[in-house]
Structure 1
Amino acid sequence: MKTRKPLIQRLSSQVRGLLAAAPVALTFCSLPAAADMTVLQVAPLFGPYGGTGWHMRTGAEIYFSEVNARGGIAGQKIKLVTVPQEAGDVAAQLRTLNSQRQPVALFGMVGDDTVGAVAKSGVLEQTGLALVGARVSSSQVGEGARNLFLTRSGMNYEIERLLKHLSTSGIKSVGLVYEDDAYGREALAIAQRLAPGSQVTLVATSYLAGSALVDTAVTKMLQSAPQAVVLASQTAGAAAFVQRYRAQGGLATIAAMSFVEGSALPKIIGKASSHGVAVVEVAPNTLNESVPLVRDFRQAYKKYGLADIEPSQTMMEAYVAARTLVEGLKRAGGAKAKLASALSGMEKTDIGGINVDFTDGHSVGVRFAELAVIDRNGRVIR
């Protein structure tokens, strides 16, 4: 009998486009069979952050499909159920879904405000659910929450590594362009605190969050003429800034923080405009097959991914989170009640070239950040 491919692989690009435009709630999986263990993802699937939720799902499902092909965990297959996040009280939505779906874990929620609200609500402790691999920028989100396990480095670590790299490259003046929201303002506060120790001077300007209205920021950076410009923004704002800044003669080195999807910039503004832009990556680069994790990712993507979509860094971040979750489930024997304890006991656990360690009592288990650059062919390379 012919093996059926995972649902994400069977969706054509046209169907995915219709789904992205549809104003209705959507789940990607039918109700699980009794022998399946459900992993629940509640995330934006429509609007400006819908792409993030979808890429997180894709990166996780290719690993879960690989695990299932090897027999699953304790004889159970993993079912990833993805539900669009509703406006309003996300904790209430999780309580309802927990009763309906009986998940063994939560996975891949998106956004500092959302995850912070979930952590403060007590829903994780009340339901006994562990939330693994949420995509947030701040390592302080949910600090102290017992059942929150983050697998991407926080913003402090990211900015510290970036400023150190710029300083050791001889750069003494840095401009910061940030979105005027909680994410951008935290980036500003961290950069202002770390700049003196990195021996760089800092000039900063903001633009409207969630927009590409960057003309004032472009003018400010052209006038102040820093040697490097750091972008604490989403992808759309970063693309608009790079294009307009360079079109007006801006010559500074440009480095984007990890919420910018580097592979998308050449598609939005062209290869010539994006060539040379550096991007911080908080998971191994998808092209760096010297890392065992990346080799595994690329092999799994060929089997279970989408032929018409290139792998993204967001998918790689989700793949790291999925491997972490599966390791925890194996240690817990597939038991929800034992999962948080199993994850908390992971100490310097090698998942293919990077370590996961939650034993320090904090919620961040991965410390990883490196710079990649967009080459003249539009590839993001190390």
Structure 2
Amino acid sequence: MNLLARVPAHAPGLTRRTCVLGLASTPFALSALANTPPRTSIRIGQTTALSGPLGDLGLAMHNGAKACFNQVNARGGVQGAPIELVVKDDGYDTTRALNNALELMADPNMFALFNCMGTPMTAAILPKVKASGIPLFAPFTGALSVRPRDMRNVFYIRPSYPDEAERLVQHLDTIGTRRIAVAYQNNTFGKEIFDGVRVAMERRNMPAANTVTVETNSSDAVEAATSIAALPSEALLIGIAGKPAVDFIRAFRKLRKGTALYTLSILGTAQTLKELGEDGVGIAISQVVPMPNASTAAVVREFQAAWKALGASQEPSHLALEGFINAKAFVLAMQRAGRNASREAFIESTWKLDQQDLGGFDLRFTAPGAHASRFIELTMVGRGGRFIR
């Protein structure tokens, strides 16, 4: 039947054109839209360091996420659609990370970027993410400088580096340790940490800290350790990660064995602690997820089972658990949005989530630029690289 033929030419306010447009709301049109083929998989991309000086960090996070996604896929995926994680190694190099991100975003089936690693890398990627509108979920950085308040498509989970620094300085002040030295990585990541420490110390009227920087390639780690060891301090706060941290701490321990060492969560991979050996014993570390070998939290028990099923050669670590939690949060957000949700629908749905309990670990996405987790606790490295509270 010709539907237009049924429209009276004299019908007030009704034209053949408006009737054509109105057909979009008829059951016939809605049926056509509903018959759009469902998404066969939910494809997400990750650029991270799987090699290079910080490769053990990126690999731990990636494997933690993979353990979660494997577990979810074994149970049928998200409403029948499996999660497909596409990873590209950037070796903790900014140019490679940007090129990786551009390649991932060029894939028309790429739904989101996930858990991309590093402050300099995130800074390079953000303008492209903003222009494309693609969701960037749980980038691995605590830097405030890469947490813009005008990007609704970026979701942060871990607390900021200044938050961790504040917690460490608060502890030192509480126990009466006020003369603190600071060693930090000579990049945006390290400078964020130093700024957080400086502000926290100024707030408590502590004396200004003696400082030293270490290059990301570790070329000056021994020289830096020698320099800071020659200056008086009661405690040394370290804002360095990966191989540079290992080389620096080893060199410093040879010169100043009795000085208390404090550092942030990014140091605490099993590989780093294994390489440090006895030099790592006694280091206090702030953590942004629970103990990975504890069984009190349901999310930790779930992680342990998934990690065992993955068969990873790495030891389970806080960073692996963080990757698992980030993946679990993404799955929850995707389930709420629906397997066939558009990117914008996913973004809107995620911002509408109330506080979520992932199994003893709470999350709440409140506003662009803010982090969804408030969890920070202090741990200490014991014998054999094991953490104790």
TM-score normalized by the length of structure 1: 0.83
- Structure 1 counterpart of 2:135: 130
Deviates more, 1:196-205 or 1:295-304: 196-205
Whichever residue aligns with residue 232 of structure 1, its letter is: G
Backbone CA RMSD of aligned residues: 2.4
- 1:160, distance to aligned residue in structure 2 (A): 0.6
Compute the displacement of 1:92 (Å). 6.3
Q: Which runs of 5+ in 2 are unaligned?
A: 1-37
Letter in 2 for 1:171: T
Q: Mark the CA change 1:87 to 1:238 in structure 2 (over 3 Å): closer, same or farther.
A: closer
- Correspondence for 2:63: 58
**Alpha-carbon distance, 1:195 to partner:** 0.2
Aligned partner of 1:281 in structure 2 is 287
Deviations 1:329-368 (A, max 9, x none): 0110122332111221223211122221112343421222
The alpha carbon displacement at 1:199 in A equals 4.5
Alignment of 1:233-382 (within 5 A): 233-270=240-277, 272-306=278-312, 308-334=313-339, 335-337=341-343, 338-382=345-389
Structure-1 separation of matches of 2:139 and 2:244: 23
Contact 1:184 1:233 in 2 (8 A): yes
1:36 aligns with 2:12: no
**Pairing 1:110–2:117 present:** yes
Residues 87 and 373 of structure 1, relative CA distance in 2, 3 Å threshold: closer
Alpha-carbon deviation of 1:110? Answer: 1.2
Out of 204, 211, 224, the position equivalent to 2:218 is 211
Shift of 1:212: 5.3
Q: Paired residue for 1:4?
A: none
> Which amino acid in structure 2 is aligned with residue 230 of structure 1?
L
Is the 8 Å Cα contact of residues 262 and 279 (structure 1) preserved in structure 2? no
Q: Percent identity?
A: 26
Using the alignment, how far apart are the partners of 1:83 and 1:66 within structure 2? Answer: 21
Query: Post-superposition shift, 1:90?
Result: 5.5
Which digits, 9 at most, give the CA deviation of each residue in 1:98-146, with x for residues without a partner? 343512221111111221222223x3452x4211111113033141221
Segment of structure 1 superposing worse, 347-356 or 209-218: 209-218
- 2:3 aligns with none
Give CA-to-partner distance per residue, 1:124-171, whole Å, 9 cap, x none.
452x42111111130331412211111111111110111001111221
What amino acid maps onto 1:37 in structure 2?
I
- 1:238 is displaced (CA, Å) by 2.1
- In 2 relative to 1, CA 100–260 (structure 1 residues): closer, same or farther, beyond 3 Å? same
Q: CA 1:352–1:162 in structure 2 vs 1: closer, same or farther (change >3 Å)?
A: same
Return closer, same or farther for 1:300/1:83 CA change in 2, 3 Å cut-off: same
Which of 68, 71, 75 does residue 70 from structure 1 map onto?
75
Task: State how far apart, in whole Å, the 1-side matches of 2:55 and 2:323 are.
Answer: 15
2:172 aligned residue: 166
| SS of residue matched to 2:327 | helix
Distance (whole Å) between structure 2 residues aligned to residue 125 and residue 366 of structure 1: 27
> Secondary structure at 1:377's aligned position in 2?
helix
Deviation at residue 174 of structure 1 after TM alignment: 0.9
CA distance in 1, matches of 2:181, 2:202: 14
Which structure has the larger Rg over C-alpha atoms?
2
1:193 aligns with 2:199: yes
Distance 1:97 1:224, change over 3 A: closer
Any conservation in 1 of the 2:163–2:196 contact (CA below 8 Å)?
Answer: no
Residue identity in the other structure for 1:244: A
Contact 1:212 1:236 in 2 (8 A): no
Count, aligned residues:
346
- Answer yes or no: is the 8 Å Cα contact 1:163–1:195 preserved in 2: yes
2:156–2:369 contact (8 Å) kept in structure 1: no
1:179 is matched with: 185
Quote the Cα distance in structure 2 between the aligned partners of 1:129 and 1:87.
Answer: 20
Q: CA deviation at 1:310?
A: 0.6
